[in-house]
Structure 1
Amino acid sequence: MNHKLVYRLYVDESLQMRRKRPRRNRSCLIRVTREVAVARNDTWSMDFIADQLFSGQRFRLLTLVDNFSRMSPAIEVGHQVTGDHVVAILERATKEHGMPKQI
């Protein structure tokens, strides 16, 4: 059986078939399941959000979220958020809210 016959059978049965193999196929195999947070400061998540003003000026937001309580220890807005800024933000948030076990 070759790929042309398989494709023709899928088309006849109105099935969908991926034409390309996903690039992240290997990384999906070695992913570790995350533990569910059961108390405050078990795990925090952080993410960057980028947007643009009407004038065309871009800005970024760094958001920290406690996964258990859904509280945000820090939201920082700036035009350039560098690695030094991220470290300072994390240090300030850990002083105010305590150290998380995982980020």
Structure 2
Amino acid sequence: MTWAMTEKGYSQRRACRLVGIDPHVHRYRSRRPDDAGLRTRLRELSGERRRFGYRRLHILLEREGWEVNWKKLYRIYREERLTVRRRGGRKRALGTRAPMAIPQGPNQRWSLDFVTDSLVWGRRFRVLCIIDDFNRECLGAVVDTSISGHRVARELDRIAELPRA
């Protein structure tokens, strides 16, 4: 636009018509105030409070005396590319898992499982099933309405001490 007007001597109207824009677009001057102070303070606050989003930063700025609309603050927040730092996700196992070794004899590996059911009148109960993985023998079934971790440990100790052929 400016090149066509200075080098070729075209009028502003003709240069705008050649480019295909309205002259008002070429003449437009932004009246938006300079928000340099607000931008720097917003960057400082977001650096200090990494887990705060624009809403909580808006509250902090209001407490400091900045009178700014939250929509304007959001626009500046986006223009500065400030985002809440994402927390790390669930830690996953690295590499491939080694397959579980197949037991070569009895009492090398046991499996525990809770089975839950309810009686006709609504009372619930759980059964702890303890199975030897080598011969698929049920070593014990502990029935209780509320099995605690201490009780499970006691039952496992009791079953481990039993003599088996």
For 1:58 and 1:73, locate their aligned partners in 2 and report how far apart those are by CA, in whole Å. Answer: 23
2:149 counterpart residue number: 83
Aligned CA distance change for structure 1 residues 97 and 43 (closer, same or farther; 3 Å): farther
> After superposition, what is the alpha-carbon deviation per residue over 1:5-52, rounded to whole angstroms, capped at 9, x for unaligned?
xxxxxxxxxxxxxxxxxxx9x459654310011111111101111111
Residue identity over aligned pairs, in percent, reads 31
Secondary structure of 1:88 counterpart? helix
State the Cα distance separating 1:96 from its structure 2 match.
0.3
Length-normalised TM-score, structure 2: 0.41
The one-letter code sitting in structure 1 at the alignment partner of 2:152 is V
- 4+ aligned runs moved over 3 Å, structure 1: 26-32
For structure 2, the residue ranges without an aligned partner over 5 or more in a row are: 1-89
2:111 counterpart residue number: 45
For structure 1, the residue ranges without an aligned partner over 5 or more in a row are: 1-23, 99-103
Out of 118, 122, 126, which is 1:60 matched to? 126
2:138 counterpart residue number: 72
State the Cα distance separating 1:74 from its structure 2 match.
1.0
Aligned CA distance change for structure 1 residues 30 and 50 (closer, same or farther; 3 Å): farther
Task: Give the alignment's Cα RMSD to 1 decimal.
Answer: 2.4
Higher RCO (Cα < 8 Å, 6 or more apart): 1
Structure number with higher strand proportion: 1
The one-letter code sitting in structure 2 at the alignment partner of 1:60 is R
Corresponding pairs, count: 76
Secondary structure of 1:74 counterpart? strand
For 1:86 and 1:55, locate their aligned partners in 2 and report how far apart those are by CA, in whole Å. Answer: 27
Aligned CA distance change for structure 1 residues 59 and 28 (closer, same or farther; 3 Å): farther
Length-normalised TM-score, structure 1: 0.64
Structure number with higher helix proportion: 2
Which has the greater radius of gyration?
A: 2
The one-letter code sitting in structure 1 at the alignment partner of 2:112 is M
2:37 counterpart residue number: none
